[in-house]
Amino acid sequence: MIYNIKTGTFEPIYDALDSRQLPPDCYVVTPEQVNLISASVTGGGAVWAEDGVIQCSDSSPSAYHVFDLKTKKWVISPAKQTAFFAEQKDSLIAQLANKTDALKAGLLVGYSQTEIDSFYRQEKEALAWQADHNAETPMLKQIALLRGVPFEILVQKVIEKSEMFAMVIGAIIGQRQQLEDRILTATKPEELETIKNEVETWQLPNLS
C-alpha cells in the first residue's frame, strides 16, 4: 500500500512502481504500518515523516490526551489532568470491585448453588443446636442422616466451615476497603499504578 501523508489516504501499490517513482508526500507502508497509521488517524493521533520514513503516534491513551508533534509525545493539559485522574480512580475502583467478586467466587469453587444457598441455614441451625440441644434442626438432621455422619460431628464441621468462611471473607473485605481508601486518597499517577499492580496480583488469603 501507499500512504499519502498530505491527504491522509491509502492507495494500492503497483508492481511497476518503486519508491523512486512515488508521488510527492507518498510512502510505501507495510500491513503492520497500515494498522498503526489507521489507529493513529482514527484515535486522535498524528502521522508524520521523519528522515524519509513514515512515523505515527498510535491511538490516544485517553480522551484527554493530545499528541505534541514537537516532542512526539502524548500530553495532557493541566486543565484536563484533574478530570483524567478522577476517571483513572473510578476505573481502578471498578477493577477492584471485580477482583473482589472473583476472589469470593474462587472461594466457592466446587460447591453447587444449592449448597451455597443453604450455608446460612446450616450455620443458623448449627449455632442454635450448639446453644440449645432442643433447637429445631431439620436441614442438618436430613444431611447427617443421608450422608451417614453423626449429627454432633456435622454440627461441628458446619460451625468450623462457617468460621473459616467468615475469616476469609472478612480478610477480602478488609483488603478491598484498604485498597479503595488508598485509591481515593492518591494524589499521583504513580500511586495508582502501584495500587493497580497490587489489585492484579491480589490472591485469596491463607488463613490455615
Position 20 scores a pLDDT of 58
pLDDT for residue 30: 85
65 or 143: which carries more pLDDT confidence?
143
98: nearest Cα among 208, 186, 179: 179
For residues 45-58, average pLDDT: 88
User: Which residues, 6+ apart, have CB-to-CB distance to 135 below 8 Å?
Assistant: 125, 128, 129
Could you give phi then psi for residue 38, rounded to 5 degrees? -60, -45
Local confidence band at 12 (pLDDT 50, 70, 90 cut-offs): confident
Q: What is the pTM of this model?
A: 0.68
Contacts 24+ apart (CB under 8 A), 112-116: none
Q: What average pLDDT does range 109-124 have in this prediction?
A: 95
Residue in 14, 76, 19, 74 with CA at minimum distance from that of residue 49 = 19
Q: Which residue has the higher pLDDT, 75 or 17?
A: 75
Contacts of 188 (CB under 8 A, 6+ apart): none
Task: Specify the higher pLDDT residue, 17 or 191.
Answer: 191
Query: So what's the pLDDT on residue 208?
Result: 53
Mean pLDDT of 158-187: 95
